Amino acid sequence: MVDIDTNPPTRESPLIGSTRKYVMTSSMDMMRVFVVYAPFRAYLIAGSVLLAGTLLLGMRYLLMVGFGDPARTYTPSLILAGILAGLGFLIVGLGIIGELQAVNRRILEELRLNQRRKVVLEGKVMAQVTYQTAKRPEELESCEK
């Protein structure tokens, strides 16, 4: 029988530690991509959640005022509904701005691509780059002579 030994760990593993952590990081990456490439839809979903809360609180306020205890005040529900409505419309507005920026980015990418194609078709070189290997200072002096 041969004994097999293993070395002790020298550092922490660079791999993801758990499945939960992997799912969390992957879902955050997917959400970022979704917000970058479909900003209006992403912000519309978030704004709709807040606006739905506004609708529910507004209906609750109306029901409580109509059928509730007349001695109680229900203004906190109304204030919260107003705050949620403001935030909901703000987020939808940010989605519109994000969509305009995404359209602008797409147009700029297309213009840049067309400009590169035009340069290539005309046979012009945009920039000429020469690469040299690294040399010692004494070698550079002998090359210059």
In a domain, 142, yes or no: no
State residue 101's pLDDT score. 92
Rounded CA-CA distance 130/94 in Å is: 46
Please, are residues 50 and 84 in contact by the beta-carbon 8 Å criterion? yes
Closest by CA to 44, choosing from 82, 83, 94, is: 94
pLDDT of 128 reads 55
| 63 within a domain of the structure (yes/no) | yes
Tally the domains of the chain: 1
Give pLDDT, residue 69.
82
pTM: 0.63
Is residue 13 in some structural domain?
A: no
Residue-range definition of the domain harbouring residue 116: 19-127
Establish if 48 belongs to a structural domain: yes
User: Which residues of the chain fall short of a pLDDT of 50?
Assistant: none
Q: How far apart are the C-alpha atoms of 71 and 115, rounded to whole Å?
A: 72
Query: Residue 72 carries which DSSP code?
Result: S
Q: Is residue 66 part of a domain?
A: yes
Q: What is the pLDDT at residue 45?
A: 94
Task: Assign 3-class secondary structure to 10-68.
Answer: CCCCCCCCCHHHHHHHHHHHHHHHHHHHCHHHHHHHHHHHHHHHHHHHHHHHHHHHHHC
56 assigned to some structural domain:
yes
Identify the DSSP state of 70: T
For position 120, what pLDDT does the model report? 80
Do the domain assignments include residue 8?
no
CB 54, CB 86: distance < 8 Å: no
